[in-house]
A and B are shown apart, each in its own frame.
Chain A
């Protein structure tokens, strides 16, 4: 299979270069239009913040990886890119790489679910822009199947691998139902916003936001249908919240141990979670000694993240097995495309030779023997072709290396000059 793929990703290039090569929706459509039928007969482009990958079936047989690299570099007018910034894949390796991307094992955050959706969206875009053809659609089906299987059959996407998700995971080990709980997010910056969103997604019952700049808190509160508290007086209401999540850029502690003691007394020592995801810390870590106070900072949340990442890494062999299975299944299908016509042409060729020779010589036989001649020669041809037919079928069904199968099939075609003979018959 003549499939080429180039990839620039977090393993090969720094973020500036990845950003420089990033293609947005419109750029992908325009790039596909520019290259369709000139560089590729069909193709696919995956572009995210961590990777840009181009897959394509070359329109001309002499297309090289350099052509691909130059096309994208020229399209984006990027300087400083070298060939070592690209990973190059050909044929079944290219498909295998795509499956690795779709299943998340090639991601910066192993098992990242987002990439699966991004690959799906990329295929949708390729289909909408008529960049994806018959073969790409089939590759897409297999990639999606591999991605889904990885999620359902392995634990590759299980457990929190970001600090804000780890905070939510930890909260859910303390409280059973977030619907009945209230949370206060201190700090409406990027980290605070992500954490507040996670809490909202998990169905937190009551959400409040406080920030030094009230407008910013109000903006986020409006987005998340939360209420706001004035930064100067939020401590007076601390006891009303089961979860307090702090993510400000303050240089000093915002909540002291005494604040928490007072709050715990007011709430009759009902369990309260304090998540300090700020650097430097916002909440006095000494507070963890108070009964029913569950205090966690970035370091302790990172323990969860690292543990989950290790568990995900242990799942990689299982995902690789799924990838191999899906790849073999795809290659079996692909090889069968070549094998079936070859068997037909080979049989047609032998039948043509047999018919010609019988026709030439049948007058040498009596009318009764002519019929027998017909039967006997057909039986000979069938016997001769039986083994080659079985072997050709095996190439296609084994699902092995597509290139090896292609070489064997092309050897047979060359030996019997099937391409020329096939043309003649047409």
Chain B
């Protein structure tokens, strides 16, 4: 089984690259050459990736969340998986390259540096921790997608204002659709983060004797959560719309990235498992 895991680890970045190639070709050429095959290939890549994660869980007897590079492969999966669901629901197929590129980056880093740990802390084998981490990662993926659509919204907004009718103008969906996609992703991200935080607050103090509410990861995630909460509430109440909501989403994403970098690579706390 180890050989299969190693092979999958090697092949996954290429599968994401090929999927990206299909999406990128259709985006650049504007044709419909790969209109169905690109979605099928994304599905196959995700299926393959899912079995890879499953095999790792079975082989190493713990969910793939024990080190940052395992988390990267889960992130690669969850970003593309979230996009896949979004594409199925909305049938907007033109924005794939902007999302899948994130999966490529995460998966390449993961494939290069991932370690096969057989000996891990007992707490990392806990299912509640698995649910906590997976919901947090899916939440962050949704936030990433929200930020990408937000960024595309800002570019298209500017292009239309400046009468620049180039490739993005031709291929991207309307501003309203981009705003809606960004907002829907933000809501999904917010709900998943809420879930992760609730599990964390209930379970972490019991699991870790040195638990602290001053933990940088907890503070960082809470700040991101509060920011999205403010944005979503104001949007629902009709006080904010368009560029302002989009900017909040992008700031939230940047904050989430900064918080992840600081808490994983700089600060050390009970929340660092590796």
Contacts and interface: CB of A to CB of B under 8 A. Distances in A.
Interface residues of A, number: 21
A268 B238 contact: yes
Interface stretch (B55-63, B175-183, B215-223): B175-183
Contact of B165 (A174, A288, A294, A307): A307
B30 A174 contact: no
A241 B51 CA distance: 52
B163 interface: yes
Interface string B147-162: 0000000001000110
A155 B243 contact: no
B97 interface: no
A175 B175 CA distance: 7
B176 A175 contact: yes
A265 interface: no
B175 A173 contact: yes
Interface stretch (A70-78, A296-304, A406-414): A296-304
A308 to B, nearest CB: 9
B163 A173 contact: no
Contact of B177 (A176, A271, A300): A176
Interface in A381-408: none
A170 interface: yes
B169 A173 contact: yes
A172 B174 CA distance: 6
Interface residues on B, range: 10 to 19
Contacts of A292: 242-243
A2 interface: no
Contacts of A173: 156, 160, 169, 172, 174-175
A329 B177 CA distance: 45
Contacts of A179: none
A175 B161 contact: no
A294 B160 contact: yes
Residue with the highest number of chain B CB atoms closer than 10 Å, among A172, A176, A270? A176
A288 B165 CA distance: 16
A325 interface: no
Contacts of B241: 268-270
Interface in B227-242: 238, 241-242
B21 interface: no
B173 interface: yes
A426 B175 CA distance: 76
B242 A294 contact: no
Contacts of A303: 163, 165
A271 B174 contact: no
Contacts of A359: none
A291 interface: yes
Interface string A145-163: 0000000000100000000
B36 to A, nearest CB: 16
A288 B162 CA distance: 9
A155 B173 CA distance: 19
A322 to B, nearest CB: 16
B165 A176 contact: no
Interface of A: 155, 170, 172-177, 268-271, 288, 291-292, 294, 296, 300, 303-304, 307
17 contacts: A172-B174, A173-B156, A174-B176, A176-B173, A176-B174, A176-B176, A176-B180, A177-B176, A268-B241, A270-B241, A271-B176, A291-B243, A294-B160, A294-B161, A300-B163, A303-B163, A307-B165
